[in-house]
Structure 1
């Protein structure tokens, strides 16, 4: 049912840990270093009494008359149990199927749990679900807390499978806004979301000191574009997998599987909070598999594979760093194999104040022209280090640094770009295209030898610094039309026997020192060329 190759069974937390809040508070720091602690779910049915001692009121919903055969709706009964018992209440769903045709909600609460380690929720289809506030897009099974004037804390939601395999069925399983203490574990959603309504999860921490975790939330079957659904005309594009957009605290999204959504896979943007996306499997979603923003946010260990070509999906990509400050993407694997022209492995948008990409592997065999890493013109300082781009699409830059007059510098350090395919008439032939002043390339290795049209580096920006590294391509290793750029300790080579470096007539005040240049330099009119201590081979 799921193609998640991570274990569906979490390891138990040490039995001496009785305070879940203490565990939760430590998750954010753990995400930066050691692997995170797992939830206390062990295997299906084995932990049904795990939380009984944590709540003042514990209710088995079938003891109160809930139908566990999927024949009668339990929505009204569950809503009544929450209304009647309020805070410090755990509702437990034993093994069975629970049909729901209306939203269950709590606006203000403290310490509430919904737990069903072997339970299956069966939402009504689009035509039979009673939605709130007259908005057909806003269908959801559970809604907890309020984004505005939030006064809710401590929510546990764990252990359900959601069966939306029926036609015209797709539901927001849970929407939660709490100040602190959000815990969502082990939610498996099966069946394509083809109702055209909001996607399966929305989570927001509303206090700057609050924390939360969404762990093993899986929706591998994706969703239909809204134009293919009964809700056509009421939603733009269609659902997003996970939404985190009114957030000021810290949220960890761990080991989730999100694939095939016509909007973003994960939208963790807007608000000044911190997001930690840890591990997980992410597939083709329109715009981006992961869209990230915030302060000190981290994307670590995800696997992203864009391998499906779908109509109505405009330029699906890997990671989109939308905004924020000090955003870190590290230890990620991104593969772009779909035939979608213009895809990008990682794109840093204009609103991003600063970002770092570290130890990332990006590869592609797409039949379209696409790009590996793109820095948009307005983005702040960007550092890319210890990263490999294995680049074999039909065209496109391994790295494209935009922004001719941007005051923010870009640094590439120990970046390796290789290619294995020829380019089409679409162009975009260089391993690296640099348009931004004050860019620094240190120990960069670019090999672009599969096509006669390729260059390793096209430098168009003044005051650039290229220190060490190897630039080898079929046509020219380096193509320069900048001013006041210094090349120091580089190796430049043309596989066709051309000069390793070509200086166009727009270039001026160029320094090339201590370098190994195969067949020397082709000077097409550089005004002011200074060379020293170079080796010509």
Structure 2
């Protein structure tokens, strides 16, 4: 018998029962609940900051604390505060914004500071039409060493507003917490931008909310991590929705970017885009709105490098304009692991996981460069395949559960990937459970079942 069994042969030989007592990859209980209610302001469910971190500044850490209204700023939003900010000595200074509305008609940024804090938990920032910003330009000359920004709401709800709210690059330590952008960005400008310019520096962006996305007329990104980032930057508990050109775009970064928790919805090109070494853990990614101008709605795009880990995450694809896949391994990626993750695909011809032919260094970094472990893929998608591996030698697929019974839906399709291993998995689909284009791969302890379209009698059990 050839390695590519027909549906009739499979049903005859397997009789609908598991072969060799096969396992299946049930997702980790740590994977987030896609239906969990969002937190405040429609954001991600609120969690506490990481241990040892704070969502508010410590005044005693600064030499001086300045109330911006006492310094002359208008809290009614009538007069611009840029000149007031420019008159403040920002070196080792915390600037407090009392409750109110503050208007900015130009970019403000200090020339340098050992330590700078901006804190406005009930402060709203407004701006003028057609201004692309940034509003706060903080440390982009790499002369701010320690930065705290917290509590601001940027109101971009009027038409023709949407400047970059914050452009921050620091050397040692950055904390950005509880910042929100209201209104769709409808100018030709990307959203937030962050980076850490010292290899030993760290940054945390916690509870950032960009719920209203961008106008598809402009190919804007929600949040960008630039190529000058070489330290470690963590995005935790953030929400980014509906941007035409990437939600969180971190793949140019040379340093590490870790994405922890949060919700990423309905962005084009990718909702989360990272390169190695980086991690994506405990996130929710969902595409359920197909807007014109939002193209190739990938979930998590692993763009390049090595040692990327995606784990304990939940992805749902209900509706897309088009999509390469829920999780994609781009041509420039050398090595990555996807594990303990649950993917649901209802959108037709969209792969749950797709690894494209490599076009990078081609360096063999480990025995199994691409590893997919303990992953469940379900949903009613028609056509295509749940997993597609192309020219990725040595791929390991272990402890998978694939249950997809839309019409002509295949399970795992492997092409020109010598040394690939598929083991301990339960695959139940309407098309071919395992297609290898006549090539030999290693198979161990599998249940392969080809069923009728629409059959929902698929279950996954797990034996350790």
What TM-score results when the alignment is normalised by the length of structure 2? 0.83
2:418 is equivalent to residue 414 of structure 1: no
* Structure 1 residue 422: Cα displacement: 2.0
Residue 25 of structure 2 corresponds to none
Alpha-carbon distance between aligned partners in 2 of 1:334 and 1:239, rounded to the nearest angstrom: 20
Residue 208 of structure 1 corresponds to 199
Q: Within 5 A, what are the aligned runs for 1:215-234?
A: 215-227=206-218
2:200 is equivalent to residue 184 of structure 1: no
2:366 is equivalent to residue 385 of structure 1: no
* Structure 1 residue 5: Cα displacement: 4.7
* Structure 1 residue 469: Cα displacement: 1.3
Deviations 1:422-458, CA, capped at 9 Å, x for gaps:
24xxxxx311100111110011110014xxxx11111
Q: Is the 8 A contact 1:245 1:267 kept in 2?
A: no
2:140 is equivalent to residue 142 of structure 1: no
* Structure 1 residue 461: Cα displacement: 6.1
Residue 35 of structure 2 corresponds to none
Q: Is the 8 A contact 1:92 1:116 kept in 2?
A: yes
Given candidates 144, 147, 153, the residue that maps to 1:155 is 147
What TM-score results when the alignment is normalised by the length of structure 1? 0.72
Q: Is the 8 A contact 1:272 1:324 kept in 2?
A: no
Q: Is the 8 A contact 1:270 1:294 kept in 2?
A: no
Q: Is the 8 A contact 2:99 2:120 kept in 1?
A: yes
Alpha-carbon distance between aligned partners in 2 of 1:117 and 1:461, rounded to the nearest angstrom: 62
Q: 1:359 to 1:314 in 2, by over 3 A?
A: same
Residue 401 of structure 1 corresponds to 389
Residue 54 of structure 2 corresponds to 39
2:50 is equivalent to residue 57 of structure 1: no
Alpha-carbon distance between aligned partners in 2 of 1:417 and 1:203, rounded to the nearest angstrom: 38
| Partner SS, residue 148 of structure 2 | strand
| Partner SS, residue 342 of structure 1 | coil
* Structure 1 residue 421: Cα displacement: 2.1
Structure ranking higher on relative contact order (CA contacts 8 Å, 6+ apart): 2
| Partner SS, residue 422 of structure 1 | coil
Alpha-carbon distance between aligned partners in 2 of 1:152 and 1:289, rounded to the nearest angstrom: 30
Deviations 1:502-524, CA, capped at 9 Å, x for gaps:
xxxxxxxxxxxxxxxxxxxxxxx
Q: Is the 8 A contact 1:376 1:401 kept in 2?
A: yes
Unmatched segments (≥5 aa) in structure 1 = 14-26, 28-35, 42-49, 130-137, 228-236, 424-428, 476-494, 496-537
Q: Is the 8 A contact 2:195 2:228 kept in 1?
A: yes
Alpha-carbon distance between aligned partners in 2 of 1:345 and 1:415, rounded to the nearest angstrom: 16
* Structure 1 residue 211: Cα displacement: 0.7
Q: Within 5 A, what are the aligned runs for 1:447-466?
A: 447-449=428-430, 454-460=431-437, 462-466=439-443
Q: Is the 8 A contact 2:125 2:155 kept in 1?
A: yes
Residue 7 of structure 2 corresponds to none
Residue 241 of structure 2 corresponds to 259
State the number of aligned residues.
Answer: 406
Q: Is the 8 A contact 1:116 1:159 kept in 2?
A: yes
| Partner SS, residue 384 of structure 1 | strand
Q: 1:248 to 1:283 in 2, by over 3 A?
A: same
Residue 225 of structure 2 corresponds to 243
* Structure 1 residue 2: Cα displacement: 3.0
| Partner SS, residue 41 of structure 2 | coil
Unmatched segments (≥5 aa) in structure 2 = 1-39, 458-464
Alpha-carbon distance between aligned partners in 2 of 1:331 and 1:244, rounded to the nearest angstrom: 26
| Partner SS, residue 79 of structure 1 | helix
Residue 347 of structure 1 corresponds to 328
| Partner SS, residue 376 of structure 2 | strand
Q: 1:342 to 1:185 in 2, by over 3 A?
A: closer
